[in-house]
Amino acid sequence: MKIIISGGGSGGHIFPAVAIANAVKARWSDVEILFVGAEGRMEMEKVPAAGYKIVGLPIAGLQRKLTPANIVKNLQLPFRILKSRQMVKAVIRDFAPDIVVGVGGFASEPTLKAAAAMGYKTLLQEQNSYAGLTNKILARKACKICVAYEGMDRFFPREKIVFTGNPVRADIEQMNVSTAEGREHFGLRPDGRVLLSVGGSLGARSINEMVLNHLHFFRENRIQILWQTGRWMYDEAVAAVERAQASEWVKVHQFISRMDMAYAAADIVVSRAGAIAISELCLVGKPVVLIPSPNVAEDHQTKNALALVDRGAAVMVKDADCNSQGLSTVKELFDSPERRQKMSVAISRMAVRHAADKIVDQIASLVVKPKAASTPKELSDLEKLDLIGKN
């Protein structure tokens, strides 16, 4: 069996893609898997690190902030798209997959569009509660669409939809780390209160600035914070913590690879509202303050967050209010153990386990032919005579 998995751009696309690939390999040991991603994006590093081959396309997204540099990039975009479509057709033709799986991100659009046009079976994995334009278009030719939220027939043909949940990293789904182990791993004191601030694999400027501008808050309220900054603000954050002499309370990390340890260590989590982050938080069952990114298509992170807020499973603070209200909201939760407990119960009820295996079930239903029922062997005349003689 041969499978192409396409997508990427951020951890929110890469981690589920790798989870699906791992589940495929667990099902069929002799499978060949090829990833198709975007040049210069995270997947070109993370996918090989996970043990898989990847081809990079020169695809990019539309730049919404119209700076002079971004205007030039937008003018180059049609040529990048055309070249990517030509390249991916050759990749698909040479690899000859049994199925092509799209997980979202820049590369998934040209890959799945080309695969469908060439007559290959395609499967979509829609992570968000509000489908983007690209997946709505790709859904027309897709065989199956795996979703993580109810009510997705607003966007896709009902007969193609399968509720699977979002695949997450195995160490999160199988999390068996204690709070004490998590805090020891990061050098946090075992007692007291711990906040985890994580703005996604690439960081989040507004969340980082919220922490950066209020380093005194943590000492004054005796709250330890485990702070993932992403690479863009890491050096600035380290320098600021040293100047403020806040290293006792503020632990800065560019990227946290052991998120199971981080989640275990935390009492409360501050996070963006990406689909995969939310799926992990539901499995972890910790109280969470969601700060949706405003820089995403169709404002889908706000819609993801509201799906939890409406069930009492999270608190949402708008990105514009993050600096003024974010940490005061955190303090209110720390001061209300009963509310935190109710939130933990509510968010845990929304957890969906074994999503990657459920997606592989759908892949199998499309590409694995059922074995023909065995039929009784027709005996020859000599065999019939021999059988009569024995009886």
pLDDT tier at 336, thresholds 50, 70, 90: very high
Please report the sign of the dihedral spanned by the C-alpha atoms of residue 286, residue 287, residue 291, residue 293: positive
Mean pLDDT calculated for residue range 341-349: 97
The CA-atom distances, in angstroms, between 103 and each of 39, 153, 167 are: 16, 18, 10
Q: Does 234 or 11 have the greater pLDDT score? A: 234
The pLDDT assigned to 92 comes to 97
DSSP 128: S
pLDDT above 90 coverage of the chain, percent: 72
Distance CA 224, CA 158 (A): 47
The pLDDT assigned to 201 comes to 62
Q: Is the pLDDT score of 240 beyond 50?
A: yes
The pLDDT assigned to 375 comes to 46
Q: Tens digits of per-residue pLDDT, 150-202?
A: 899 999 999 999 999 999 988 898 889 999 999 999 999 999 999 999 986 66
- Cβ–Cβ < 8 Å for 195, 330: yes
Q: Is the pLDDT score of 136 beyond 70?
A: yes
The pLDDT assigned to 134 comes to 84
pLDDT tier at 391, thresholds 50, 70, 90: very low
pLDDT tier at 370, thresholds 50, 70, 90: low
The pLDDT assigned to 215 comes to 96
Q: Is the pLDDT score of 59 beyond 90?
A: no
The pLDDT assigned to 158 comes to 96
The CA-atom distances, in angstroms, between 120 and each of 115, 141, 143, 186, 295 are: 5, 10, 10, 47, 33
Q: Is the pLDDT score of 382 beyond 50?
A: no
The pLDDT assigned to 66 comes to 75
The DSSP string of 52-84 is -EEEEE---PPP-S--HHHHHHHHHHHHHHHHH
Q: Is the pLDDT score of 117 beyond 90?
A: yes
The DSSP string of 275-309 is HHHHHHHHHHT--EEE---SSSGGGHHHHHHHHHH
- Cβ–Cβ < 8 Å for 166, 127: yes
The pLDDT assigned to 371 comes to 60
pLDDT above 70 coverage of the chain, percent: 93
Distance CA 145, CA 125 (A): 6
Q: Is the pLDDT score of 385 beyond 50?
A: no
Coil/strand/helix, residue 352: coil
Mean pLDDT calculated for residue range 300-326: 95
Q: According to DSSP H, which parts of 285-380 are helical?
A: 300-309, 322-334, 337-348, 355-367
The pLDDT assigned to 190 comes to 94
Q: How many CB atoms lie within 10 A of CB 369?
A: 5
The first and second tokens of residue 118, run together, are 């060439």
Q: Is the pLDDT score of 278 beyond 90?
A: yes
